[in-house]
């Protein structure tokens, strides 16, 4: 009897472990396809879009946004069709077999896919028909019609771009993701949300004082952030973006900072100083139960969940200066991850699980971005220059990061590829934009 | 109070509640009608999508798209003006009382001899004005991360509070907070400014 009862338990454990293993390696495999060092980007050509009584430049603008999205995706390269002499007859209504020479020309030049579109007006709306053809066979792979107000032109291009990414990688694209951040506005620092390419900033709070470090919920409906509503007490609040509805999650005595929601959305990890110095806690948002995870005389802060939700990475100065540590989600198994340099802080775990980004102090004494693998085996610095870099946050596809960088007191938000290439400034105007957080896809 | 006036009061209260409720719901309807999207969601105009190839959403590579993120428009408030006014009044009150700030070394929350001297002056005043409420704000220079500087600022503010307590000031009127590197006093980017910004700033509360 005794043995019988043990067998199912063991079987369950083995099956459970196996299941988890499959889930994880499955996700990792998809990732490897497009992130291996030898991954060849897919050359795609964007033909001149046809304008059918559309507002001036609308067809050109939508094609330009699309090209920028495709380039940024890190999946595609955008071929210069003009240089290749590939041009579509502007009288055409639809590309088809009759244009085979065009496709042959594209294929001969290594262009794997051709994108063509028509922009028209219907009532007060724009109508975009987007087509994607296989460069070699001329097979029509994607045909989509988008209808929306003229102000949605960029969204239409983003949708078509995501359609291409999804078609070629099986992953959701990032062109319609958003970035939450804090920005100085009329004497206060407020929470804002903008498109992933820096367009369409939208103000979320109007508290008039100090709001910091917004972080997304997994369902992308809400942000959690630190709010100084009365200048003395900091609370951690949650705001629902679509309605503006807001509630306070944490109002303990002392500093309540650096919130991070678990991948399943249930637990909020944060730092509070209610015990005298900054310690990391989790809040079960269903039961309102608090669990203290760290017990140190030093400062523990900036917890960030692993993609599995089983571990947390955080900053602690228990060894003197700030360093990055790992622990299990229940506070056990604490180990130090960074040993190089005397200042490592603000960790963010890639949604792929393979890297942790953080702020490091370079040999020149500058605060820059570094990456380290969770096993500590590989470490690299990905930004250089004089800016004070802060608050790295990963794109949901794990290929990019956003961060803030301050030069001469002006803080702006930048996007950069994971390998440190193609740094792009996203914010314009204003003088202080900080703590960016990239939404899930 | 007789039954009639009680009933009248109740009716008035119910009426007021109704007005409030209607006021709220008409606002909600207004928000919804401004958008061409789902009711109650933001004013962000939506893009509709149609598959020209007649593919079902479950076709390979399809259906992986999530919805657009809707963000409601925030109403402007005069909160910033009120905060600024409070800060101005506190500055004046603090200056009149002669309460001094304390300055710190890089990455340090140790109180220097100079700082101790300033706090002895502050302690004298606080002990003779025990009813006054003081907020001790910890501030940092711009180097390092926002989050770590918030914690550092709090260590500074608490070091100030602890020294004042040692000097016999009651803790009841003292509140500590930290603004990290977020509200610098000096806007330059060299050590002259940095040392101005590494401070425990005392503010006399005015409300």
Instruction: Provide ipTM, 2 decimals.
Output: 0.87
**Which ranges of chain B does DSSP label H, i.e. alpha helix?**
3-34, 79-97, 113-128, 146-166, 191-197
Same domain, A281 and A151: no
Q: Does residue A325 sit in helix, strand or coil?
A: strand
Closest-CA residue of B relative to A367 is: B144
Q: Last residue of a domain, which of A169, A188, A204?
A: A169
What lies within 8 Å, CB to CB, of A279 at 6+ separation is A271, A272, A273, A292, A293, A294, A295, A296, A300
Report the C-alpha gap between B125 and B115 in whole angstroms: 16
Cβ atoms within 10 Å of A264's Cβ, excluding its own: 9
* B80/A322 Cβ within 8 A: no
User: Would residue A21 count as lying in a domain?
Assistant: no
Closest-CA residue of A relative to B186 is: A409
Closest CA to A165 of A408, A397, A436: A397
Same domain, A80 and A191: no
| pLDDT of B12 higher than 70 | no
Write out chain B residues lying below 8 Å of A168, CB-based: 61
- Closest CB to A273 among B41, B46, B154: B154
**pLDDT of res. A209:** 92
Report the C-alpha gap between B148 and A429 in whole angstroms: 27
| pLDDT of B170 higher than 80 | yes
The pLDDT tens digits of the residues spanning A241-269 come to 999 999 999 999 999 999 999 999 999 99
Let me know how long chain A is: 441
| pLDDT of B186 higher than 60 | yes
How far apart are the CA of A214 and the nearest CA of chain B, in angstroms?
A: 12
Report the C-alpha gap between B179 and B175 in whole angstroms: 13
The pLDDT tens digits of the residues spanning A53-70 come to 889 899 999 999 999 999
What's the longest Cα–Cα distance across chain A? 82
The pLDDT tens digits of the residues spanning A310-357 come to 999 999 999 999 999 999 999 999 999 999 999 999 999 999 999 999
Write out chain B residues lying below 8 Å of A171, CB-based: 64
* B53/A207 Cβ within 8 A: no
Percent of chain B with pLDDT over 90: 55
Same domain, A208 and A129: no
CATH code at position A393: 2.120.10.30
* A148/B62 Cβ within 8 A: no
How far apart are the CA of A103 and the nearest CA of chain B, in angstroms?
A: 20
Closest-CA residue of B relative to A126 is: B47
**pLDDT of res. B59:** 45
Write out chain A residues lying below 8 Å of B49, CB-based: 144-147, 159
**pLDDT of res. A89:** 72
What is the number of CB-based contacts under 8 A between chain A and chain B?
A: 202
* A142/B83 Cβ within 8 A: no
Higher pLDDT pick, B111 / A229: B111
**pLDDT of res. B109:** 95
**Given phi > 0 = left and psi -120 to 50 = alpha, else beta, which region is B67?**
beta
**Chain A 221-250, residues with CB within 8 Å of chain B CB atoms:** 228, 231-234, 241-244
| pLDDT of A236 higher than 90 | yes
Task: Please indicate if any CB of chain A lies within 8 Å of the CB of B35.
Answer: no
Residue A34: pLDDT band (50, 70, 90) is: low
Give the start-to-end residue ranges of the domains of chain B.
98-204
| pLDDT of A20 higher than 60 | no
Write out chain B residues lying below 8 Å of A343, CB-based: 144
Return the CA Rg of chain A.
24
Same domain, A67 and A197: no
**pLDDT of res. A21:** 34
What lies within 8 Å, CB to CB, of A205 at 6+ separation is A190, A191, A211, A225, A227, A239, B74
- Closest CB to A243 among B72, B135, B152: B72
Write out chain A residues lying below 8 Å of B183, CB-based: 210
* B47/A159 Cβ within 8 A: yes
Higher pLDDT pick, B28 / A376: A376
Write out chain A residues lying below 8 Å of B88, CB-based: none
* B75/A345 Cβ within 8 A: no
**pLDDT of res. A4:** 42
Same domain, A348 and A282: yes
Q: Give me chain B's average pLDDT, please.
A: 80
- Closest CB to B47 among A147, A206, A254: A147
Rounded to the nearest angstrom, the gap between the alpha carbon of residue A39 and the centroid of all alpha carbons in its chain is 21
| pLDDT of A308 higher than 60 | yes
Closest-CA residue of B relative to A94 is: B52
Closest-CA residue of A relative to B145 is: A390
Question: A234 lies in which domain range?
Answer: 178-438
| pLDDT of A25 higher than 50 | no
**pLDDT of res. B43:** 60
Q: Do A49 and A65 meet the contact criterion of CB atoms below 8 Å apart?
A: no
* B70/A166 Cβ within 8 A: no
Same domain, A205 and A288: yes
Q: Last residue of a domain, which of A143, A169, A195?
A: A169
**pLDDT of res. B38:** 40
Q: Do B158 and B175 meet the contact criterion of CB atoms below 8 Å apart?
A: no
Q: Does residue B73 sit in helix, strand or coil?
A: coil
What lies within 8 Å, CB to CB, of A62 at 6+ separation is A49, A117, A119, A128, A153, A154, A156, A157
CATH T-level topology, domain B98-204: 60s Ribosomal Protein L30; Chain: A; (3.30.1330)
Report the C-alpha gap between A347 and B82 in whole angstroms: 35
**pLDDT of res. A101:** 78
* A187/B71 Cβ within 8 A: no
User: Would residue A29 count as lying in a domain?
Assistant: no
Same domain, A222 and A293: yes
Q: Is B59 exposed, middle or buried (0-12, 13-18, 19+ CB in 10 A)?
A: exposed
Choose from A255, A436, A439 for mutation: most chain B CBs within 10 A: A255
CATH code at position A54: 3.40.50.10070
Q: Last residue of a domain, which of A169, A192, A209?
A: A169
**pLDDT of res. A38:** 63
**pLDDT of res. B200:** 97
Task: Please indicate if any CB of chain A lies within 8 Å of the CB of B34.
Answer: no
Same domain, A248 and A154: no
Q: Give me chain A's average pLDDT, please.
A: 89
Backbone dihedral angles phi then psi of residue A213, each to the nearest 5 degrees: 40, 65
Report the C-alpha gap between A315 and A214 in whole angstroms: 18
* Number of domains comprising chain A: 2
DSSP state of A94: S
Residue B58: pLDDT band (50, 70, 90) is: very low
**pLDDT of res. B206:** 85
Cα–Cα–Cα angle for B90, B110, A364, rounded to 5 degrees: 100
**pLDDT of res. B112:** 96
Closest-CA residue of A relative to B141 is: A409
**Given phi > 0 = left and psi -120 to 50 = alpha, else beta, which region is A226?**
beta
Task: Please indicate if any CB of chain A lies within 8 Å of the CB of B171.
Answer: no
Residue B73: pLDDT band (50, 70, 90) is: confident
Percent of chain A with pLDDT over 70: 89
Cβ atoms within 10 Å of B109's Cβ, excluding its own: 18
Write out chain A residues lying below 8 Å of B42, CB-based: 241-243
Strands (E), A123-276: 125-134, 140-148, 178-185, 188-195, 202-203, 210-216, 222-228, 234-240, 246-250, 256-261, 267-272
Cα first-last separation, chain B? 38
Percent of chain A with pLDDT over 90: 77
Same domain, A84 and A186: no
pTM: 0.86
How far apart are the CA of B172 and the nearest CA of chain A, in angstroms?
A: 14
Q: What is the mean pLDDT of residues A96-123?
A: 86
Report the C-alpha gap between A337 and B108 in whole angstroms: 24
Same domain, A406 and A314: yes
What lies within 8 Å, CB to CB, of A265 at 6+ separation is A217, A218, A219, A285
Report the C-alpha gap between A219 and A242 in whole angstroms: 12
**pLDDT of res. A104:** 84
Closest CA to A259 of A241, A230, A285: A285
Q: What is the mean pLDDT of residues A24-28?
A: 34
**pLDDT of res. A106:** 87
Query: Strand A178-185 vs strand A188-195: parallel, antiparallel, or unpaired?
Result: antiparallel
Same domain, A134 and A188: no
* B78/A142 Cβ within 8 A: no
Report the C-alpha gap between A394 and B162 in whole angstroms: 40
Higher pLDDT pick, A82 / B139: B139
Write out chain B residues lying below 8 Å of A277, CB-based: 151, 155
Q: Is B20 exposed, middle or buried (0-12, 13-18, 19+ CB in 10 A)?
A: exposed
Report the C-alpha gap between A96 and B52 in whole angstroms: 14
Let me know how long chain B is: 207
Task: Please indicate if any CB of chain A lies within 8 Å of the CB of B197.
Answer: no
Same domain, A131 and A263: no
**Cα distances (angstroms) measured from residue A281 to each of A238, A259, A331, A335, A336:** 17, 10, 9, 17, 18
Cα first-last separation, chain A? 50
User: Would residue A83 count as lying in a domain?
Assistant: yes
């Amino acid at each position: 009897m005794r043995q019988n009862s043990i067998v199912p338990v063991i079987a369950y454990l083995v099956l459970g472990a196996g299941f988890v293993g499959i889930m994880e390696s499955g996700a990792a495999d998809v990732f490897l396809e497009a992130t291996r060092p030898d991954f060849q980007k897919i050359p795609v050509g964007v033909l001149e879009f046809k304008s059918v009584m559309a507002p001036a430049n609308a067809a050109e603008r939508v094609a330009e946004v699309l090209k920028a999205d495709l380039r940024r995706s890190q999946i595609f390269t955008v071929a210069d069709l003009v240089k290749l002499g590939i041009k579509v007859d502007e009288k055409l209504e639809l590309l088809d077999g009759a244009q085979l020479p065009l496709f042959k020309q594209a294929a001969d030049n290594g262009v794997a896919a051709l994108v063509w579109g028509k922009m028209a007006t219907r009532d007060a709306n724009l109508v975009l028909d987007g087509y994607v053809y296989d460069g070699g066979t001329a097979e029509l792979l994607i045909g989509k019609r988008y209808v929306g107000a003229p102000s949605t032109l960029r969204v239409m291009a983003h949708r078509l771009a995501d359609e291409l990414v999804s078609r070629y990688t099986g992953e959701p694209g990032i062109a319609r993701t958003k970035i939450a951040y804090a920005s100085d506005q009329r004497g206060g620092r407020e929470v804002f949300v903008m498109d992933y390419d820096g367009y369409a900033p939208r103000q979320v709070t109007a508290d008039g004082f100090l709001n910091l470090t917004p972080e997304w919920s997994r369902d992308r409906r809400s942000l959690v952030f630190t709010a100084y509503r009365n200048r003395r007490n900091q609370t951690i609040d949650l705001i629902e973006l679509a309605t503006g509805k807001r509630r306070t999650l944490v109002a303990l005595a002392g500093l309540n900072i650096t919130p991070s929601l678990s991948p399943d959305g249930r637990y909020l990890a944060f730092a509070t100083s209610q015990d005298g110095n900054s310690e990391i806690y989790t809040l079960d948002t269903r039961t309102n139960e608090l669990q203290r995870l760290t017990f140190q005389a030093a400062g523990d802060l900036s917890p960030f969940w692993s993609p599995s939700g089983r571990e947390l990475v955080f900053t602690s100065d228990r060894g003197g200066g700030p360093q990055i540590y790992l622990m299990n989600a229940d506070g056990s198994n604490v180990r130090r991850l960074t040993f190089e340099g005397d200042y490592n802080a603000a960790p963010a775990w890639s949604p792929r699980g393979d890297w942790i980004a953080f702020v490091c102090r370079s040999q020149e004494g500058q605060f820059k971005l570094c990456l380290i693998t969770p096993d500590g085996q590989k470490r690299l610095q990905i930004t250089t220059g004089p800016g004070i870099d802060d608050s790295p946050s990963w794109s949901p596809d794990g290929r990019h990061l956003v961060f803030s960088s301050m030069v001469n007191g002006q803080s702006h938000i930048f996007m950069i590829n994971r390998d440190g290439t193609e740094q792009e400034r996203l914010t314009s105007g204003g003088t202080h934009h900080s703590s960016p957080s990239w939404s899930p896809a | 109070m007789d039954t009639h006036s009680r009933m009248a009061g109740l009716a008035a209260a119910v009426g007021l509640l109704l007005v409030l409720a209607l006021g709220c719901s008409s606002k909600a309807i207004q928000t919804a009608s401004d958008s061409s999207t789902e009711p109650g969601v933001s004013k962000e105009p939506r893009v509709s999508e149609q598959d020209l190839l007649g593919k079902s959403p479950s076709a390979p590579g399809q259906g992986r798209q999530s919805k657009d993120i809707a963000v409601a428009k925030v109403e402007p408030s005069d909160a910033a003006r009120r905060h600024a006014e409070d800060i101005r009044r506190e500055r004046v009150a603090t200056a009149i009382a002669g309460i001094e700030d304390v300055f710190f070394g890089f990455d340090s929350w140790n109180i220097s001899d100079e700082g101790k001297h300033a706090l002895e002056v502050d302690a004298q005043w606080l002990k003779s004005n025990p009813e006054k409420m003081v907020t001790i704000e910890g501030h940092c220079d711009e180097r390092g991360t926002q989050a770590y500087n918030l914690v550092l600022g709090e260590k500074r503010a608490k070091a100030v509070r602890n020294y004042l307590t040692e000097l016999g000031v009651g803790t009841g009127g003292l509140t500590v907070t930290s603004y990290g590197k977020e509200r610098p006093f000096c806007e330059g980017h060299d050590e002259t400014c940095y040392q101005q910004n590494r401070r425990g700033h005392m503010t006399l509360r005015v409300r």
